[in-house]
Amino acid sequence: MPSISKRKEDHLRIAAKPNAQYSDPAGFDDVLLVHNALPEVNLKSIDTSAKFLGKTLSAPILITGMSGGTDKGGALNQKLAKAAEKSKVALGLGSQRPMLKDAKTLAHYKVRSLCPSIPLIGNIGAVNLPEYPLEKIEWLVSSIEADALAIHLNPLQEAVQPEGDTNFQGVLRSISKVCEKLSVPVIVKETGAGISGPVAQQLFESGVKFIDCSGRGGTSWSKVEYARGGRLPGFEEWGYPTLPALVECSSFGPTICSGGVRSGVDAAKAIAMGAQLAGAAWPFLGAADPSLVAAQWREQIRTSMFLCGAKNIEQMRNAPLIVGGRTSEILNARGFDMRVYSSRSVSPSAASTPSPSERGHYL
Ligand SMILES: Cc1cc2nc3c(=O)[nH]c(=O)nc-3n(C[C@H](O)[C@H](O)[C@H](O)COP(=O)(O)O)c2cc1C
> Could you tell me which of 270, 240, 70, 254 has the C-alpha nearest to residue 155?
240
> Could you tell me which of 191, 199, 187, 196 has the C-alpha nearest to residue 336?
196
Any residues with Cβ below 6 Å from ligand 1, and which? 11-12, 15, 64-66, 94-95, 123, 150, 152, 189, 191-192, 214, 218-219, 258-261, 280-282, 285
Specify the pLDDT at position 65: 97
pLDDT confidence bin for 163, thresholds 50/70/90: confident
What residue owns the CA closest to ligand 1's atom 5?
A: 66
What residue owns the CA closest to ligand 1's atom 3?
A: 66
pLDDT confidence bin for 355, thresholds 50/70/90: very low
* Ligand 1 centre distance from Cα of residue 343 (Å): 35
What residue owns the CA closest to ligand 1's atom 7?
A: 94
- Domains defined for the chain, CATH in brackets: 3-342 (3.20.20.70)
Integer Cα distance of 32 and 342 in angstroms = 10
- Rounded to an integer, the average pLDDT of 336-344 is 94
C-beta neighbour count of 165 within 10 angstroms: 15
Integer Cα distance of 244 and 334 in angstroms = 9
Residue 277 DSSP SS3: strand
Specify the pLDDT at position 1: 54
Residues in a beta bridge with 31 = 323
pLDDT at 162 over 70: yes
Specify the pLDDT at position 360: 47
What residue owns the CA closest to ligand 1's atom 25?
A: 218
pLDDT confidence bin for 294, thresholds 50/70/90: very high
pLDDT at 326 over 50: yes
- Rounded to an integer, the average pLDDT of 332-346 is 94
Specify the pLDDT at position 7: 87
pLDDT at 229 over 70: yes
pLDDT at 353 over 90: no
pLDDT confidence bin for 4, thresholds 50/70/90: confident
Q: What is the mean pLDDT of the chain?
A: 94
Specify the pLDDT at position 231: 87
What residue owns the CA closest to ligand 1's atom 6?
A: 66
C-beta neighbour count of 19 within 10 angstroms: 10
Close Cβ partners of 257 (under 8 Å, ≥ 6 residues apart): 212, 213, 242, 246, 267, 270, 273, 275, 277, 278, 279
* Ligand 1 centre distance from Cα of residue 216 (Å): 12
Q: H helices of the chain, where?
A: 3-15, 71-87, 97-101, 134-142, 155-160, 171-181, 197-205, 221-227, 242-250, 264-272, 282-285, 290-308, 313-316, 325-333, 339-342
pLDDT confidence bin for 2, thresholds 50/70/90: low
Q: What DSSP character marks residue 150?
A: E
- Rounded to an integer, the average pLDDT of 199-210 is 98
* Ligand 1 centre distance from Cα of residue 328 (Å): 26
pTM of this prediction exceeds 0.75: yes
> Burial of 103 by CB count in 10 Å (0-12 exposed, 13-18 middle, 19+ buried)?
exposed
pLDDT confidence bin for 88, thresholds 50/70/90: very high
- Rounded to an integer, the average pLDDT of 216-241 is 95
pLDDT at 233 over 90: yes
Contact 62, 92 (CB under 8 A): yes
Higher pLDDT, 9 or 44: 44
Ligand 1 test: best mutation among 14, 19, 66, most atoms within 8 Å of CB? 66
pLDDT confidence bin for 181, thresholds 50/70/90: very high
pLDDT at 351 over 70: no
> Could you tell me which of 22, 2, 281, 4 has the C-alpha nearest to residue 164?
4
